[in-house]
């Protein structure tokens, strides 16, 4: 092939500007000459005729100029039409080839399908996070989130801002609300939002059924349901309108049902089951407390007001409000107006979105490697086929087909295969994304992403398939079109050495990538196994969790403290219950709490000391219930109440770090600068993940450190106790929602990341191995087929079946070994990146390496033994006659 | 050309060219001669305008062109109607007839 590169293959012959000019000139000249000839024949002199013809023609310069301009347009159009018609011809040929060679086509299409499916699934997630438009009538750029000093707002602050601002057409406040939903069956936890009345008006969305809120709706309890809840709980029955639901023991009338997919202006993720308006007639202390900044605020901007202008206006208003109410924190005046879609919607949520994006990036890399293996494989197949078709191609070249034209034809054939594969990949991706959403259903908080296909995902897959076709098709096509005419027509094997070298390199690369992926999945699996054997330091077996949720608005702290005590004591009296105790953080769930703890200088020789510690807030009896033994001191008592001196219990690690042991009687400075005396020391236990190093942990009495949700741990006979627990909570306060689940189910969540890592890398690794095995198989089968004569001769002079197999396998075994060594090495080094996810396993784990090496080597051996055996069994006579 | 000739109404050139090509493929000179003979020199049609119109019609897809050899063995560009051009010709002819009849009616009644 002459130099010139890729551009050469896509250059179609077309007239240059000068060609066009010459053509137009020719045409006009022809006209003038013919007219001159006519006039001369009618009796004019040659000279007069020429002058007359020229005059009759008129303005030649202008005619030439406009004609050239038009011709250029026509030429461009013809050029495009030619490309398309040629492409179409080639595509038809390509489709015909698929029909003639279904096995080959199936292999290529399946490979492309599998490799693009991973990418498409990953992009579906990215798409739903960042690119999918919000399903709203109001354009996303008109909407903006408002935050005062990177924080939410209190209801009174919101009301003041609302009354004074002029930059938003609508300004909306909403907050997350978790309620218990009492039906005839088991009570359920619903996640919804309490919203200001203008919520739906600002978003411009109307309900599928019923209506949204009117101003009268502030005086009673009403609710609008999400479509999924309507279908799941009410079977999509339209008579749900007007029905009364008991939420947290309070009756709510159903006003309407929103369309499926509606999630408000919130970033994708949390799922909402219902929307209820703020009811200002109910005595809700949250609505009058300026310190309770619990409401998210967003608004619909006035026309021609930018976010920056809105922010400037709000800052002035916030300054005024703060001047009137000095208790408002000073950051409040730092008003921000943020976008509601794209990456900007996640501002202030970096700790949530960054791990997700990092994980997606890692997955993209892995899926990219898989794509490369797949491409290498198909390239190998195509190279083999190009060799088989070299005679056809040589003939076509001999009868005058251009090499560039030939490259384009071969590429188009690849493209047809790749597009078919891309279509298959899209279907596979649909199935994969279904799996992603079911994975989220294991989390304690309802998470939902709209992963449905849309234009963007389809365009992405289309682009990816096209790129794939170029990657795997270009090299073989170029090779095929550069066949040496003479040697190909003579069927000379000498010209094929170069082609084989390339296929060998591809196989080495494939084995390397698949080994690397398998090393990673091996490390994850080993870490899971290791984690399974770790003692958490407490015993979740036989423990039930009763999660209590107080409504912030209607339940004061006093009520919560009293309920927690009465409820626990009622449960303790129930039959089948051995022990009970409450904690705000369930260990090894996704919950945690941490803060800075200070050592109080209380004796000569102590220095000030500060340390970040894990924390948990407990009622008496918790340590007994989960079987964490005391090393020294005592448990909390109900008498360690709000009015009593502050007390705390610490774990051994904290006692060692703060006082070298001997902690009982010492003092620390906890949150809100409260002095706490240590009354007990307990044995270390795992807090957040099984793989973690034990961190210093402090336990506070719930009665002194109230939170609005806590979980009662109950050691009991699971079957008989569940009903007793529900009965106890109902009889005490029907409007407090309590749901019961075994502790084992919650603590299992801590191994979720390692499980996902193991599952994903194992799936990709297995797939990569299959592809690599196919690659090895293809290489050996091809090289054997090229050497039928040589093998037959060897058989004829006495080589045994075993000799032949050893010869063939030995040649390719070296390739496998090189790839294996490279892959395992790279895998070990690369694993350092996600070291923190593989608890208790070194990235250079010898055991993993050994297993991966054995598995890959065996697979390669089988893959090359099959064609070798086939070759060895061919009778020498047949082999010799064939050539 | 003499002053007594009537300048052509806009759009008439296109109609004349399309009509002349109904006889079959012709080069530009054939078209200009056909127009000249048929109109008996009533219209002032410059060849420059004619050629610009030919290229414009090709750009619109009403005619297509091909290089060939003329009777006296010179390289010449031959034009022929496309199916679209045929349709366009029919439309324009019927429009012109209606227009002319209307004008004649008005003048006749005066």
Residue A877 pLDDT grade (very low, low, confident, very high; cuts 50, 70, 90): low
Residue A104 pLDDT grade (very low, low, confident, very high; cuts 50, 70, 90): confident
* Choice between A613 and A281, residue whose per-residue pLDDT is larger: A613
Residue A710's DSSP bridge partners are A548
Q: Nearest to residue A77, comparing CAs of B17, B58, B14?
A: B58
Which of A218-232, A569-583, A822-836, B6-20 has maximum average pLDDT? A569-583
Q: A33 to chain B: which residues are within 8 Å by CB? A: 74
Helix, strand, coil abundance in chain B, percent, nearest 5: 55, 15, 25
| Predicted model pTM | 0.66
CB-nearest to B75 from A26, A34, A62 is A26
Q: What is the pLDDT of residues B11-28, one digit of tens each?
A: 788 888 999 999 888 888
Contact A60 B27 (CB under 8 A): no
CB-nearest to A57 from B27, B47, B75 is B47
Handedness of CA A670, A671, A674, A676 (dihedral sign): negative
Compute the count of residue pairs across chains A and B with CB atoms less than 8 Å apart: 63
State how far residue B86 is from chain A, nearest Cα, in angstroms.
19
DSSP reduced 3-state for A781: helix
Give the mean pLDDT of A580-598.
87
Length of chain B: 110
Q: Which of A60-64, A571-575, A625-629, A736-740 has the least mean pLDDT? A: A736-740
Give the mean pLDDT of A366-390.
78
Give the gyration radius of chain B's Cα atoms.
Answer: 15
State how far residue A50 is from chain B, nearest Cα, in angstroms.
14
Rounded CA gap, A714 and A581, in Å? 7
pLDDT at A366: 78
Q: What is the pLDDT of residues A522-567, one digit of tens each?
A: 888 888 877 777 788 999 888 999 988 887 667 788 899 999 999 9
DSSP reduced 3-state for A632: strand
Q: Nearest to residue A416, comparing CAs of A93, A847, A779?
A: A93
Which of A53-57, A59-63, A621-625 has maximum average pLDDT? A621-625
Q: What is the pLDDT of residues A802-833, one digit of tens each?
A: 888 888 788 778 888 999 999 999 888 888 77
pLDDT at A406: 80
Q: What percent of chain A has a predicted confidence (pLDDT) above 90?
A: 18
Q: Nearest to residue A541, comparing CAs of A748, A339, A382?
A: A748
Q: What is the pLDDT of residues A630-689, one digit of tens each?
A: 999 999 999 998 888 999 999 999 999 999 888 899 999 988 788 999 999 999 998 887
B20 close to B34: Cβ distance less than 8 angstroms: yes
State how far residue A427 is from chain B, nearest Cα, in angstroms.
42
Q: Nearest to residue A571, comparing CAs of A704, A736, A713, A702?
A: A713
Q: Nearest to residue A780, comparing CAs of A866, A655, A848, A879?
A: A866
Touching A: B residues 59-88, CB under 8 Å = 59, 67, 70, 74-77
Token pair belonging to A398:
């001999």
DSSP secondary structure code for residue A646 in this structure: P
pLDDT at A750: 67
Name the closest residue on chain A to residue B72, using Cα atoms: A34
pLDDT at A13: 62
pLDDT at A173: 92
Q: Which of A70-84, A437-451, A562-576, A617-631 has the least mean pLDDT? A: A437-451
Contact of A30 with chain B, judged by CB distance below 8 Å, is answered with: yes
Token pair belonging to A115:
């490799």
Q: Which of A137-151, A571-585, B81-95 has the least mean pLDDT? A: A137-151
Helix, strand, coil abundance in chain A, percent, nearest 5: 55, 15, 25
Q: What percent of chain A has a predicted confidence (pLDDT) above 70?
A: 91
Rounded CA gap, A623 and A682, in Å? 8
Residue B2 pLDDT grade (very low, low, confident, very high; cuts 50, 70, 90): very low
Handedness of CA B21, B26, B28, B29 (dihedral sign): negative
Rounded CA gap, A154 and A142, in Å? 24
Residue A766 pLDDT grade (very low, low, confident, very high; cuts 50, 70, 90): confident
A341 close to A140: Cβ distance less than 8 angstroms: yes
Handedness of CA A486, A489, A492, A496 (dihedral sign): positive
Q: Which of A9-13, A658-662, A845-849 has the least mean pLDDT? A: A9-13
Q: Nearest to residue A829, comparing CAs of A844, A842, A817, A814?
A: A844
Which residues 6+ apart lie within 8 Å of A167 measured at CB?
A: A301, A302, A305, A309, A310, A313, A314
Contact A35 B32 (CB under 8 A): yes
- For A526-565, letters b (16+ CB in 10 Å) and e give bbbebbeeeebbbebebbbbbbbbbbbbbbeeeebbebbb
Q: Nearest to residue A342, comparing CAs of A177, A130, A570, A140?
A: A130
Rounded CA gap, A878 and B10, in Å? 82
Give all strands (DSSP E) within A584-633, no chain letters: 594-599, 609-618, 630-633
Contact A70 B1 (CB under 8 A): no
pLDDT at A883: 45
- The DSSP secondary structure of B95-106, one letter per residue, reads HHHHHHHHHHHH
Token pair belonging to A571:
């449960």
Residue A110 pLDDT grade (very low, low, confident, very high; cuts 50, 70, 90): confident
- The DSSP secondary structure of A724-740, one letter per residue, reads HHHHHHHHH-TTSEEEE
A621: left (phi over 0), alpha (psi -120 to 50) or beta: left
Residue A447's DSSP bridge partners are A270
Q: A60 to chain B: which residues are within 8 Å by CB? A: 48
Give the mean pLDDT of B97-108.
88
Q: What is the pLDDT of residues B56-74, one digit of tens each?
A: 899 888 998 888 888 888 8
Q: Are strands A697-701 and A609-618 parallel, antiparallel or unpaired?
A: parallel
* Backbone phi, psi, residue A47, to 5°: -65, -45
Q: How many CA atoms lie within 13 A of A645 on its CB side?
A: 9
Name the closest residue on chain B to residue A31, using Cα atoms: B29
DSSP reduced 3-state for A276: strand
Contact B32 A60 (CB under 8 A): no
Helix (H) or strand (E) holding A315: helix A307-324
Contact of A71 with chain B, judged by CB distance below 8 Å, is answered with: yes
Residue B16: Cβ within 10 Å count: 20
Residue A490 pLDDT grade (very low, low, confident, very high; cuts 50, 70, 90): low
Q: A66 to chain B: which residues are within 8 Å by CB? A: 52, 55
CB-nearest to A27 from B28, B48, B56 is B28
A728 class by beta-carbon count within 10 Å (0-12 exposed, 13-18 middle, 19+ buried): buried
A534 close to A750: Cβ distance less than 8 angstroms: no
Q: Nearest to residue A93, comparing CAs of A394, A402, A404, A411?
A: A411
**pLDDT at residue A126 greater than cutoff 80:** yes
Q: B70 to chain A: which residues are within 8 Å by CB? A: 30, 34
A530 close to A841: Cβ distance less than 8 angstroms: yes
Q: Nearest to residue A265, comparing CAs of A213, A206, A199, A361?
A: A199
Q: What is the pLDDT of residues B42-55, one digit of tens each?
A: 776 788 888 888 99
Give the mean pLDDT of A603-609.
79
**CA separation, residue A503 to residues A101, A506, A807 (Å):** 21, 5, 19
A696 close to A631: Cβ distance less than 8 angstroms: no
B6 close to B42: Cβ distance less than 8 angstroms: yes
Give the mean pLDDT of B88-107.
89
State how far residue B29 is from chain A, nearest Cα, in angstroms.
5
pLDDT at A692: 75
Length of chain A: 883
Token pair belonging to A76:
């461009």
Contact A30 B29 (CB under 8 A): yes
Q: B75 to chain A: which residues are within 8 Å by CB? A: 26, 30
Q: A20 to chain B: which residues are within 8 Å by CB? A: none
Contact A63 B77 (CB under 8 A): no
Name the closest residue on chain A to residue B2, using Cα atoms: A56
Contact of A854 with chain B, judged by CB distance below 8 Å, is answered with: no
Give the CA angle between residues A335, A339, A343 to the nearest 5°.
Answer: 120
Touching A: B residues 17-56, CB under 8 Å = 27-29, 32-33, 46-49, 51-52, 55-56
pLDDT at A356: 72
Name the closest residue on chain B to residue A23, using Cα atoms: B77
Rounded CA gap, A413 and A95, in Å? 8
* Choice between B4 and B82, residue whose per-residue pLDDT is larger: B82
Token pair belonging to A733:
């306060």
pLDDT at B1: 40
Q: Nearest to residue A881, comparing CAs of A799, A805, A792?
A: A792
Q: A21 to chain B: which residues are within 8 Å by CB? A: none
Within its chain, how far is the Cα of B56 from the centroid? 12
Give the mean pLDDT of A80-90.
84
pLDDT at A2: 40
CB-nearest to A63 from B48, B58, B77 is B48
Give the mean pLDDT of A699-716.
92
CB-nearest to B59 from A23, A34, A70 is A70
A715 close to A543: Cβ distance less than 8 angstroms: yes
Contact B55 A58 (CB under 8 A): no
DSSP reduced 3-state for A556: coil
């Amino acid at each position: 092939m002459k130099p010139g590169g890729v551009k050469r293959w896509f250059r179609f012959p077309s007239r240059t500007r000068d060609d066009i000019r010459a053509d137009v000139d020719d045409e006009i000249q022809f006209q003038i000459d013919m007219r001159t000839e006519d006039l001369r024949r009618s009796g004019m002199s040659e000279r007069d005729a020429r002058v007359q013809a020229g005059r009759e023609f008129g303005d030649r310069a202008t005619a030439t100029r406009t004609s050239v301009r038009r011709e250029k347009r026509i030429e461009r159009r013809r050029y495009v039409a030619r490309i398309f018609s040629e492409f179409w011809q080639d595509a038809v040929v390509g489709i015909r080839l698929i029909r003639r060679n279904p096995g080959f086509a199936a292999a290529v299409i399946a490979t492309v399908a599998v490799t693009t499916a991973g990418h498409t699934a990953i992009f579906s997630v990215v798409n739903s996070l960042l690119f999918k438009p919000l399903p709203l009538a109001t354009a996303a750029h008109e909407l903006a989130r408002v935050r005062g000093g990177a924080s939410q707002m209190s209801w009174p602050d919101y009301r003041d801002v609302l009354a004074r601002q002029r930059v938003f057409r609508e300004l909306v406040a909403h907050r997350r609300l978790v309620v218990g939903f009492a039906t005839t069956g088991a009570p359920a936890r619903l996640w919804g939002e309490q919203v200001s009345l203008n919520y739906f008006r600002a978003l411009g969305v109307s309900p599928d059924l019923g209506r949204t809120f009117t101003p009268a709706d502030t005086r009673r309890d009403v609710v609008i349901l999400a479509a999924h809840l309507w279908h799941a709980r009410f079977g999509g029955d339209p008579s749900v309108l007007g029905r009364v639901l008991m939420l947290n023991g309070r009756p709510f009338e159903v006003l309407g049902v929103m369309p499926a997919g509606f999630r408000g202006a919130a970033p994708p993720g949390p799922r909402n089951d219902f929307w209820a308006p703020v009811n200002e007639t109910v005595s809700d202390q949250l609505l009058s407390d300026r310190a309770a900044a619990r409401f998210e605020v967003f608004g619909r901007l006035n026309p021609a007001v930018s976010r920056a202008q809105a922010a400037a206006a709000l800052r002035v208003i916030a300054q005024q409000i703060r001047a009137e109410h000095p208790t408002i924190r000073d950051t409040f005046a730092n008003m921000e107006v943020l976008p509601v879609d794209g990456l900007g919607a996640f501002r202030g949520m970096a700790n949530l979105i960054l791990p997700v994006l990092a994980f997606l990036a890692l997955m993209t890399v892995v899926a990219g490697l898989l794509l490369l293996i797949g491409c290498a494989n198909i390239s190998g197949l195509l190279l083999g086929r190009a060799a088989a078709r070299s005679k056809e191609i040589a003939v076509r070249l001999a009868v005058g087909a251009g090499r560039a034209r030939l490259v384009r034809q071969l590429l188009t054939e690849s493209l047809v295969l790749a597009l078919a594969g891309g279509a298959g990949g899209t279907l596979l991706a649909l199935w994969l994304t279904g799996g992603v959403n079911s994975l989220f259903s294991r989390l304690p908080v309802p998470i939902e992403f709209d992963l449905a296909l849309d234009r963007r995902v389809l365009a992405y897959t289309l682009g990816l398939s096209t790129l794939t076709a170029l990657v795997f098709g270009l090299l073989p096509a170029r090779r095929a079109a550069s066949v040496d005419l003479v040697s190909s027509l003579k069927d000379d094997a000498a010209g094929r050495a170069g082609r084989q070298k390339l296929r060998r390199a591809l196989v080495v690369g494939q084995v390397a990538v698949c080994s690397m992926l398998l090393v990673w999945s091996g490390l994850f699996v080993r870490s899971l196994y290791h984690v399974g054997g770790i003692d958490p330091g407490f015993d979740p077996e036989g423990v039930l969790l009763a999660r209590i949720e107080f409504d912030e608005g209607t339940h004061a702290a006093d009520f919560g403290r009293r309920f927690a005590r009465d409820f626990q004591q009622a449960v303790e009296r129930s039959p089948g219950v051995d022990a009970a105790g409450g904690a705000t953080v369930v260990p090894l769930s996704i919950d945690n709490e941490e803060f800075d703890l200070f050592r109080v200088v209380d004796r000569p020789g102590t220095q000030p000391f500060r340390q970040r510690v894990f924390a948990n807030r407990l009622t008496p009896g918790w340590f007994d219930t989960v079987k964490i033994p005391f090393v020294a001191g005592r448990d909390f008592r109900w008498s360690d109440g709000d009015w009593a001196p502050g007390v705390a219990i610490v774990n051994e690690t904290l006692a060692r770090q703060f006082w070298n042991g001997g902690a009982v009687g010492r003092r620390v400075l906890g949150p809100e600068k409260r002095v706490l005396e240590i009354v007990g020391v307990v044995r270390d236990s795992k807090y957040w993940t099984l793989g973690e190093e034990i961190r210093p942990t402090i336990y506070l009495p719930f009665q002194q450190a109230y939170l609005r949700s806590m979980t009662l741990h109950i050691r009991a006979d699971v079957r008989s106790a569940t009903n007793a627990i529900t009965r106890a909570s109902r009889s005490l306060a029907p409007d407090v929602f309590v749901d019961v689940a075994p502790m084992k189910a919650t603590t299992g969540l801590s191994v979720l990341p390692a499980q996902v890592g193991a599952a994903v890398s194992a799936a990709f690794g297995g797939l990569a191995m299959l592809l690599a095995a196919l690659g090895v198989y293809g290489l050996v089968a091809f090289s054997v087929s090229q050497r039928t004569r040589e093998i037959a001769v060897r058989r004829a002079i006495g080589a045994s079946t075993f000799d032949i197999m050893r010869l063939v396998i030995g040649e390719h075994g070296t390739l496998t070994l090189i790839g294996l060594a490279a892959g395992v090495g790279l895998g070990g080094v690369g694993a350092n990146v996600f070291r923190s996810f593989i608890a208790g396993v070194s990235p250079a784990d010898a055991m993993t390496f050994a297993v991966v090496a054995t598995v890959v080597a065996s697979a390669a051996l089988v893959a090359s033994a099959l064609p070798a055996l086939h070759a060895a069994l061919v009778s020498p006579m047949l082999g010799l006659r064939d050539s | 050309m003499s002053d007594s000739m009537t300048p052509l109404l806009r759009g008439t050139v296109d109609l004349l060219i399309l009509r002349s090509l109904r006889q079959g493929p012709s080069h530009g000179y054939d078209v200009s001669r056909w127009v000249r003979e048929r109109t008996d020199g009533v219209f002032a049609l410059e060849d420059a305008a004619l050629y610009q119109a030919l290229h414009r019609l090709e750009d619109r897809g009403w005619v297509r062109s091909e290089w060939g050899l003329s009777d006296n063995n010179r390289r010449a560009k031959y034009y022929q109607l496309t199916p679209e051009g045929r349709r366009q010709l029919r439309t324009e002819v019927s429009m012109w007839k209606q227009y002319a009849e209307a004008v004649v009616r008005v003048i006749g009644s005066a």
